[in-house]
A and B are shown apart, each in its own frame.
Chain A
């Protein structure tokens, strides 16, 4: 029996405080290469904070983060990008005064972690954005801006992609396309951590999920098992998005 491969991302005892408030309270989990891990939980449970810490926006106050075996807690975002980590934003933040193509180009120019940087046109086409390539990003609708945000993240050639509530506001056809795209990325070896509220979307794309509450993980396993776990049910009681 072959030994389990080392996880791409290993988070142990991660703590993040804002004043007296513990947004992350000794959070621990693993993500392996080619795996799609779902991260769910009620509002305020710390899902986005988790992404913010792993992607370098915040410094952790305790615990460790290891990416491909290297400790990365506290490193600046641009360094993490060069190491192969990237993320999307819950509310997309493209550079509004740059065109869609320039948004991708700048990420390729500054953030590419592979020796062979990607091609902006190909990336835009794969996300159905080729038609808008020369328009300022500010003119795109929110769904297209989300896709542009994803393109920006993918342009840097990440091996770990953190996805923050991509599904919100997308119509079923767009959701389907995004699901296919994410699974395609996983098949190519990229590890994905997907934060979501939409359980149907989670069910479709993830192999395994983690349920967070109040900064801690309270459940780890398959989505189907989660809905049978009494603690999970209690945490989600009243949450209309529960499947």
Chain B
């Protein structure tokens, strides 16, 4: 059977089924929701980092843009959530378009500039001068759209679409082209690949994923401060989960989230400093000894990792 069908059956269906069924078995819907959000974000980061090698240290900026895009549609235009959500995604894509000049920069410069951009967006959004539009530092409180069940279901749909997108990348020429670009942009150019265009497409897709995640997050919680949706913690977690699980694979980010976010919720919340120490040490260990994550370990043992 074609690889892509295999991947869908082995990964996408079980994950979707698990998150669909678990709420009726396990009471903490918020926790499951958070798992889905982080899984979506990590896959989104995977698209840009795993496949093109650029690390957007300000990835949370798209998440926040999505959350605010969604919220502003609801507050000012009284849009129904399912309309406001794509707008949230669109806000993140618009921000990504604005930031495309950053690709002229290499590696670390791109990452720092992207971080600065996200911080700048946060400063703008939370500025008291803009209170009438964005509610400034006082946070957003959405009334009339609170519907955790529907929001949960939508989040699940977003996650499914994202995993589907990564499966497509893993099995398509487009994904192959991205890996080629990551490895050697000059050689990729001589293979006829329009390096700039393909990279930008991956970037916009990655931003869209984060924007939709942000929008559905805003919908689910309905009350949040700017710091919540622009928290650099989202980026950090996504990076660590992706790094741990393994880049440019479908299963890597999923594994990373399940294991590490699982540990976080089991032990980390009560003792945040110890968890910070643990994942700081984990990051260092990974970079030094296993820079391509768990998936690379499996690949070394000859397993074809999806």
Contacts and interface: CB of A to CB of B under 8 A. Distances in A.
Interface of A: 55-57, 76-78, 81-82, 86-87, 89, 93-98, 102, 105-107, 109-112, 152-153, 155-156
Interface string B155-187: 000000000000000000100110110011011
B192 A110 contact: yes
A95 B186 contact: no
A221 B183 CA distance: 40
A106 B183 contact: no
A97 to B, nearest CB: 6
A111 B193 contact: yes
B193 A93 contact: no
B193 A110 contact: yes
B192 A78 contact: yes
A153 B183 contact: no
Q: 9 nearest interchain CB pairs?
A: A111-B192, A77-B189, A81-B192, A110-B192, A107-B191, A93-B187, A109-B173, A110-B193, A78-B194
B189 A76 contact: yes
B190 A110 contact: no
A95 B189 contact: no
A98 B173 contact: no
B191 A110 contact: yes
Contacts of A55: 190
Nearest to A55: B190
- Which DSSP category, helix, strand, loop or mixed, fits chain B's interface? helix
B189 A106 contact: no
Contact of A96 (B183, B190, B191): B183
Contacts of B180: 95, 98, 106
B176 A87 contact: no
A56 B193 CA distance: 13
A86 B177 contact: no
Nearest to A81: B192
A95 B179 contact: yes
A110 B183 contact: no
Nearest to A57: B186
Given A81-B189, A98-B179, A105-B173, 17 more contacts: A76-B189, A76-B194, A77-B190, A78-B189, A78-B192, A81-B191, A81-B192, A95-B183, A95-B184, A96-B183, A97-B179, A98-B176, A102-B176, A111-B192, A112-B192, A152-B190, A153-B190
B195 interface: yes
A111 B187 CA distance: 12
A52 to B, nearest CB: 9
A180 to B, nearest CB: 24
A158 to B, nearest CB: 10
Contacts of B189: 56-57, 76-78, 81
B173 to A, nearest CB: 4
A98 B180 CA distance: 8
Contacts of A57: 186, 189
Interface in B265-300: none
Nearest to B184: A93
A110 B194 CA distance: 8
21 contacts: A55-B190, A76-B189, A77-B189, A78-B195, A81-B191, A81-B192, A95-B180, A97-B183, A105-B173, A105-B176, A106-B176, A107-B192, A109-B173, A109-B177, A110-B193, A111-B190, A111-B193, A112-B192, A152-B190, A155-B191, A156-B192
Contacts of B177: 106, 109-110
A77 B196 CA distance: 11
Nearest to A157: B192
A107 B187 CA distance: 10
A86 B190 contact: yes
B186 A93 contact: yes
Contacts of B193: 78, 106, 110-111
B191 A152 contact: yes
Nearest to B172: A109
B173 A106 contact: yes
Contacts of A93: 184, 186-187
A95 B192 contact: no
Contacts of A76: 189, 194
A97 B177 CA distance: 12
A56 B185 CA distance: 13
B176 to A, nearest CB: 5
A102 B191 CA distance: 12
